[in-house]
Amino acid sequence: MSVRRFWASASTLLLAAAAALGMAQPASAAAGGYVALGDSYSSGVGAGSYLSDSGACRRSTNAYPYLWAAANSPSSFNFVACSGATTSSVASSQLGALSSSTSLVSVTAGGNDVGFADVMQDCVLSGEATCLAGVKSAVSQVNSALPSRLSSLYGSIHAKAPQAHVVVLGYPRFYKISGSCFAGLTEAERSAINNASDVMNGVIAKQAANAGFTFSGVADKFTGHELCSGDPWLHSVSIPVENSYHPKAAGQSGGYLPAFRSAA
Tens digit of each residue's pLDDT (9 = 90 or more) over 86-108: 999 999 999 999 999 999 999 99
Task: Assign 18 a pLDDT band (cuts: 50, 70, 90).
Answer: very low
Fold of 30-263: Rossmann fold (3.40.50)
**Cα separation of the two ends of the chain:** 41
CA distance 256 to 22: 26
Q: Is 152 a known active-site residue?
A: no
Is 246 marked active-site?
A: yes
> Considering the chain, what is the average pLDDT of its residues?
89
Check residue 206 and give its pLDDT.
Answer: 98
Given 40, 83, 197, 244, the catalytic residue: 40
Confidence tier at 4 by pLDDT (50, 70, 90) = very low
pLDDT, average across residues 212-235:
97
pLDDT at 72 (0 to 100):
97
Contacts of residue 134, Cβ cutoff 8 Å, sequence gap at least 6:
118, 119, 122, 123
Residue 54 has pLDDT above 50, yes or no: yes
Instruction: Give the amino acid at 135.
Output: V
CA distance 73 to 31: 8
In the prediction, which pLDDT does 5 show?
A: 43
3-state secondary structure of 81: coil
Sequence length of the chain is: 264
Range with lowest mean pLDDT among 7-21, 44-58, 122-136, 180-194: 7-21
What pLDDT, on a 0 to 100 scale, did the predictor assign at position 21? 39
Specify the pLDDT at position 239. 85
Residue 48 Ramachandran class (φ > 0 left, ψ -120 to 50 alpha, else beta) = left
- Residue 14's pLDDT band (cuts 50, 70, 90): very low
Region 194-220: what's the mean pLDDT?
98
Whether pLDDT at 6 is above 70:
no
Q: 165, 225, 235, 246: which is the annotated catalytic residue?
A: 246
Each residue of 59-78: pLDDT tens digit? 999 999 999 999 999 999 99
Q: Where does 58-208 show beta strands of DSSP type E?
A: 76-79, 102-107, 165-169
Tell me the average pLDDT across 171-178: 95
The answer to whether residues 208 and 154 touch, using CB atoms and an 8 Å cutoff, is: yes
